[in-house]
């Protein structure tokens, strides 16, 4: 029996680590997507932000965030208390003494593997912010916000659901993070966009909306496919174990439904763009795929593949309409992240009761509202403090030249740029 338990523990730990590694690869997806959707003069800075934010997220989540989100003994269901570092690893003797149903009480994989898997989720939430505030926000204030979001804002609201807090107690359902991860990132992004303002030239005085197209759509497409791949393990890894028949079947179902939702989002966004815009807009199609993925993340296990496709399709329609609506109210989001991760995230939470009879619409709306309000208020306060201390926006001249030069001192495509000093 001991050999079997050792094998199960090792298998589930390896599974968790591999899932975490693939989710980490989503950082490359966000980097490529955002680098493709911003203008060429802002490419280096957006790449710098993505590399730096991942590193900051890992440090802050290790120092405080993980134990804030998963406290050993919470103060209450609203406040987890505060603790630091990761704590001790599972004791082999204790793990191997557990048998039967008790095995699945939390000792079935390494504690360090759990941290590794969870840390790439918080980095994902922060990656959502980087694209929305691109092209006009200073680098260092952005990184300062990253410290607060990954160390405190994300873990606190994450505790309320995944750490056994009050949202979990009231029955709020969010399998892999349509709300905990994606809505959180989108809400923080909304607060930042609100305070930093729109890019120069985006909105005319006559109310006209001017397109500021991205520099590299092939790169954006590559980023979308990388994210699509990572989403299989983002959702599949959230099943947590794979060492028995039922769990293995569940993981397979999650993979199939995740893919079904993505393709549903693509086709729906393509058709919606044709109807509304009169063209097959690639950026809308890419965001449709991502919106479908976000939509299914709250409940990727229970739907049939057809239902998952329809859930993703609704997300694809919503994201096109949301991107256009946000533009009309002058919320400038260069990559559409607020729509993809926020609006589609809310839809994903609302859609859970369609296939999960244990969830209620009222509870899902309550959970979405709590996450949105908390993250919005906390983010606004954080952004405003940072703005008062350091400022948020680069100068008009720096924005015109591109933040690559002003913030990073080098360009991503120097051979294609005419340097006035050499003319």
pLDDT tens digits along 287-313: 999 999 999 999 999 999 999 999 999
Res. 76 pLDDT band, cuts 50 70 90 = very high
**d(C-alpha 366, C-alpha 168), whole Å:** 12
pLDDT in tens, 307-318: 999 999 999 999
Helix (H) or strand (E) holding 417: none
Helix (H) or strand (E) holding 17: helix 2-24
pLDDT value for 78: 94
The total of other beta-carbon atoms located within 10 Å of residue 277's CB is: 12
- Mapping DSSP to helix (H, G, I), strand (E, B) and coil, where does residue 209 land? strand
pLDDT value for 18: 94
Res. 90 pLDDT band, cuts 50 70 90 = confident
Res. 420 pLDDT band, cuts 50 70 90 = very low
Domain ranges of the chain: 2-72+82-418
pLDDT in tens, 181-222: 999 999 999 999 999 999 999 999 888 999 999 999 999 999
First to last CA, the chain: 77
CATH number (3.40.50.300, 3.10.20.600, 3.20.20.70, 1.10.3430.10) of 2-72+82-418 reads 1.10.3430.10
pLDDT value for 99: 74
pLDDT value for 417: 63
User: With 50 as the cut, is the pLDDT of residue 346 above it?
Assistant: yes
- Mapping DSSP to helix (H, G, I), strand (E, B) and coil, where does residue 369 land? helix
Task: Evaluate if pTM is beyond 0.85.
Answer: yes
Arithmetic mean of pLDDT over the chain: 93
User: With 80 as the cut, is the pLDDT of residue 113 above it?
Assistant: yes
Provide DSSP, 219-258. HHHHHHHHHHHHHHHHHHGGG---SSHHHHHHHHHHHHHH
Res. 422 pLDDT band, cuts 50 70 90 = very low
Res. 51 pLDDT band, cuts 50 70 90 = very high
pLDDT value for 104: 67
In the numeric block, the tokens 């913030």 are attached to 407
Name residue 203's beta-bridge partners. 209
In the numeric block, the tokens 């359902």 are attached to 173
- Percent of the chain scoring above 90 in pLDDT: 83
Helix (H) or strand (E) holding 381: helix 361-390
pLDDT value for 250: 95
- Mapping DSSP to helix (H, G, I), strand (E, B) and coil, where does residue 393 land? strand
Do residues 159 and 78 touch, judged by C-beta distance below 8 A?
no
Name residue 137's beta-bridge partners. 393
Phi/psi of residue 108, nearest 5 degrees:
-90, 0
pLDDT in tens, 230-267: 999 999 999 988 988 999 999 999 999 999 999 999 99
The two tokens of residue 276 are 């509304």
**d(C-alpha 24, C-alpha 3), whole Å:** 31
**d(C-alpha 349, C-alpha 340), whole Å:** 14
pLDDT value for 352: 98
């Amino acid at each position: 029996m001991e050999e079997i338990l050792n094998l199960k523990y090792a298998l589930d730990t390896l599974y968790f680590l591999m899932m975490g590694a693939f989710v980490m690869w989503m950082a490359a997806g966000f980097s490529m997507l955002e680098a493709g959707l911003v203008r060429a003069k802002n490419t280096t800075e957006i790449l710098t932000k993505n590399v730096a934010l991942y590193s900051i997220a890992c440090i802050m989540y290790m120092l405080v965030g993980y134990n804030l989100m998963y406290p050993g003994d919470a103060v209450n269901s609203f406040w987890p208390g505060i603790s630091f570092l990761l704590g001790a690893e599972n004791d082999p003797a204790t793990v191997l003494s557990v048998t039967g149903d008790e095995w699945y009480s939390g000792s079935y994989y390494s504690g360090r593997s759990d941290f590794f898997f969870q840390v790439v989720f918080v980095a994902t939430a922060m990656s959502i912010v980087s694209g929305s505030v691109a092209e006009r926000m200073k680098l260092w204030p952005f990184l300062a916000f990253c410290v607060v979001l990954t160390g405190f804002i994300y873990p606190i609201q994450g505790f309320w659901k995944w750490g056994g807090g009050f949202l979990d107690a009231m029955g709020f359902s969010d399998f892999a993070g349509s709300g905990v991860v994606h809505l959180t990132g989108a809400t923080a992004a909304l607060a930042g966009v609100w305070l930093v303002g729109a890019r120069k030239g985006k909105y005319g005085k006559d109310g006209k909306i001017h397109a500021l197209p991205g520099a590299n759509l092939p790169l954006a497409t590559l980023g979308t496919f990388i994210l699509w791949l990572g989403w299989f393990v983002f959702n599949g890894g959230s099943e947590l174990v794979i060492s028995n028949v039922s769990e293995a079947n569940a993981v397979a179902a999650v993979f199939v439904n995740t893919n079904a939702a993505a393709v549903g989002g693509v086709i729906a966004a393509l058709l919606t763009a044709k109807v509304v815009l009169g063209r097959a807009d690639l950026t809308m199609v890419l965001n449709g795929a991502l919106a479908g993925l976000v939509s299914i993340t709250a409940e990727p296990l229970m739907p049939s593949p057809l239902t998952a496709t329809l859930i993703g399709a609704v997300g694809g329609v919503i994201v096109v309409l949301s991107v256009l609506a946000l533009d009309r109210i002058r919320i400038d989001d260069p990559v559409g992240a607020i729509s993809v991760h926020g609006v589609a995230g809310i839809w994903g939470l609302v859609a859970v009761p369609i296939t999960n009879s244990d969830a209620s619409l009222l509870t899902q709306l309550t959970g979405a509202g709590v996450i949105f309000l908390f993250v919005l208020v906390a983010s606004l306060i954080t952004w405003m403090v940072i703005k008062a201390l350091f400022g948020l926006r680069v100068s008009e001249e720096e924005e015109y030249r591109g933040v690559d030069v002003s913030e990073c001192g080098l360009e991503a495509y120097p051979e294609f740029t005419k340097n006035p000093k050499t003319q």
